[in-house]
Structure 1
Amino acid sequence: TKQNVFQEAEAEVAKELTDKFKRALKTKLHEKAKAQQLLKNIDREIEELRLEISHELGE
């Protein structure tokens, strides 16, 4: 019936939107993880430089 066709189309659109949302969320989470890793690397480099500078000043 017409109603069934409409319901099937509605379900298909809902699934496509859900899949699209899940992909976008996965991408954002991946980008966030990469950004957090970069920040950790920067923090480590800053700490290494700080130690290097304090060591040189201490000599």
Structure 2
Amino acid sequence: MGKVEKITKQNVFQEAEAEVAKELTDKFKRSLKQKLHEKAKAQQLLKNIDREIKELKLEISHELGE
């Protein structure tokens, strides 16, 4: 195998390796972004539930005359 051929194969391998690394990084970033979005939605739902519970407690206490 000639020196040029060896370097070319090495370059192709490095480029492929870099492409795979970029794809994996992009997938990881998308997954992380989605998880963070889901977490934010869940936190907002919990806040809404807490607010509704407080409103219901207040409503019940008014109805019971407390």
TM-score by length of 2: 0.87
Aligned pair count? 59
1:58 shift after superposition: 1.1
Over the residues paired in the alignment, what is the CA RMSD in angstroms?
A: 0.9
Structure 2 gaps, min length 5: 1-7
Runs of 4+ residues deviating >3 angstroms: none
**What TM-score does the superposition give when structure 1 sets the normalisation length?**
0.96
Whichever of the two has the greater Rg, that structure is: 2
Structure 1: runs of 5+ lacking an equivalent: none
Q: Deviations over 1:21-46 (max 9, x none)?
A: 00000000000000000000000000
Give the % identical residues. Answer: 93
